[in-house]
Amino acid sequence: MSPALTAISNTGTAPLRFPHRNLLGIEGLSADEITFLLDLADSYVQQNREADKKSTILRGRTIINLFFENSTRTRTSFELAGKRLGGDVINMSVSTSSIKKGETLIDTAMTLNAMHPDVLVVRHPDSGAVALLSQKVNCAVINGGDGSHEHPTQALLDALTIRRRRGKLQGLLVAICGDILHSRVARSNIQLLQIMGARVRLIAPATLLPAAAERLGAEVFLDMRKGLKDCDIVMMLRLQTERMQGSFVPSIREYFHFFGLDYDKLSAAKPDALIMHPGPMNRGVEIDSEVADDIDRSVIREQVEMGVAVRMAVLDALTRDPAQRNAPHGK
């Protein structure tokens, strides 16, 4: 283990600057706490690039991935994160569970709780379901995405990607574009970026903006070129058709024409603006394939790499000794 890791591991003496039992959202976190998680994640990026990627911080701990909704990146990266820290990881997806037999969310949580897990990572299609579940169990709960509400580890990995590329978050101009209405990624990012001193713009057709978009503290644009002007970061979002009832865009062709990221629209942003997307991408719908694969501008694959490191940091922080967790903030 690197010296940096030893100094902050749960066997060390450094007091924890993350005094929370769960990670349910970005809401309620301070800039200091976010910085703590990002710094910790930074040290794990290095560990993940070594030939031997394993440490023992989570030895003896059990992590259950409880996914009521499909996932590739989030579930795999939590699994890798838990295993690289030496923990035991179990994956439970809805199709194999008793949910199909009529067991409720809470019954499932209580059943799993009786098996003494240390961490539950939960993804659920309903906003608020993960917070509700966290009240019924004794272990730490991490929100892996609840409906269109929050997806805190995605916002943290996005922030880590940006911070490593730009050296800071403060003062950057970040455009979040596309299906903001249905996006938990957007909600968590809007909060995190503003807490960290970045400026946020939301760019979408009126039908894909939340009713009180202005109240989120961001500037709102209905025109891509105007919204992208001078931006440092362009974050694209997937059209979340599974959360749509009825039609929100006239046609995919028209949507791409007005809101799909291509080189023409991108030229309004800063010449070195970074392109991001949480995945899965719909090529030719919200983003042009060439732009998505542009090795000079797109950091989409880096986001995936940062996802493992961020999830290791969150698992580490939430499984530390409670005495350390209550240590004075900022020490």
Selected from 17, 124, 238, 265, the binder of ligand NCD by CB under 6 A is 238
Q: How far is residue 99's CA from residue 158's CA, in Å, rounded to a whole number? A: 32
| Cβ density class 259-272: b for 16+ within 10 Å, e for less | bbbbeebbebbbee
Nearer of residues 43 and 189 to ligand NCD, judged by Cβ: 189
In the complex, least distance from residue 75 CB atom to ligand NCD, rounded to whole angstroms: 9
Q: How far is residue 77's CA from residue 254's CA, in Å, rounded to a whole number? A: 35
In the complex, least distance from residue 241 CB atom to ligand NCD, rounded to whole angstroms: 10
Nearer of residues 151 and 201 to ligand NCD, judged by Cβ: 151
Site residues (CB under 6 A) for ligand NCD, limited to 273-292: 278-279
Binding mask 38-77 for ligand NCD (x = CB under 6 A): -----------------------------------xx---
In the complex, least distance from residue 29 CB atom to ligand NCD, rounded to whole angstroms: 19
Angle, CA 172 vertex, CA 33 and CA 25 arms, to 5°: 35
Task: Provide the sign of the torsion angle of the four alpha carbons 18, 21, 26, 29, taken in this order.
Answer: negative
The CA dihedral of 25, 180, 172, 43, to the nearest 10 degrees, is 40
Residues in binding contact with ligand NCD, number by CB under 6 A: 11
What tokens appear for 44 in the block? 């794990």
Q: Taking Cα atoms as reference points, which of 243, 245, 239 lies closest to residue 261? A: 239
In the complex, least distance from residue 74 CB atom to ligand NCD, rounded to whole angstroms: 4
Selected from 9, 65, 154, 298, the binder of ligand NCD by CB under 6 A is 154
Site residues (CB under 6 A) for ligand NCD, limited to 177-196: 184-185
Name the pairing type of β-strands 199-203 and 219-221.
parallel
Q: Taking Cα atoms as reference points, which of 76, 86, 161 lies closest to residue 121? A: 76
Nearer of residues 163 and 184 to ligand NCD, judged by Cβ: 184
Backbone angles phi, psi at 62, to 5 degrees: -115, 130
Q: How far is residue 104's CA from residue 100's CA, in Å, rounded to a whole number? A: 9
In the complex, least distance from residue 227 CB atom to ligand NCD, rounded to whole angstroms: 20
Site residues (CB under 6 A) for ligand NCD, limited to 80-139: none
Map residue 305 onto helix, strand or coil. Answer: helix
Selected from 82, 117, 145, 227, the binder of ligand NCD by CB under 6 A is 145
In the complex, least distance from residue 214 CB atom to ligand NCD, rounded to whole angstroms: 23
C-beta nearest to ligand NCD: residue: 238
In the complex, least distance from residue 3 CB atom to ligand NCD, rounded to whole angstroms: 33
Side-chain-side CA neighbours of 33 within 13 Å: the count stands at 23
Nearer of residues 73 and 329 to ligand NCD, judged by Cβ: 73
Nearer of residues 82 and 145 to ligand NCD, judged by Cβ: 145
In the complex, least distance from residue 166 CB atom to ligand NCD, rounded to whole angstroms: 21
| C-alpha distances out from residue 322 to 10, 118, 140, 255, Å | 10, 13, 11, 49
Site residues (CB under 6 A) for ligand NCD, limited to 70-89: 73-74
Map residue 207 onto helix, strand or coil. Answer: helix
Nearer of residues 55 and 288 to ligand NCD, judged by Cβ: 288
Where do contacts with ligand NCD occur on this chain (CB under 6 A)?
73-74, 145, 151, 154, 184-185, 238, 240, 278-279
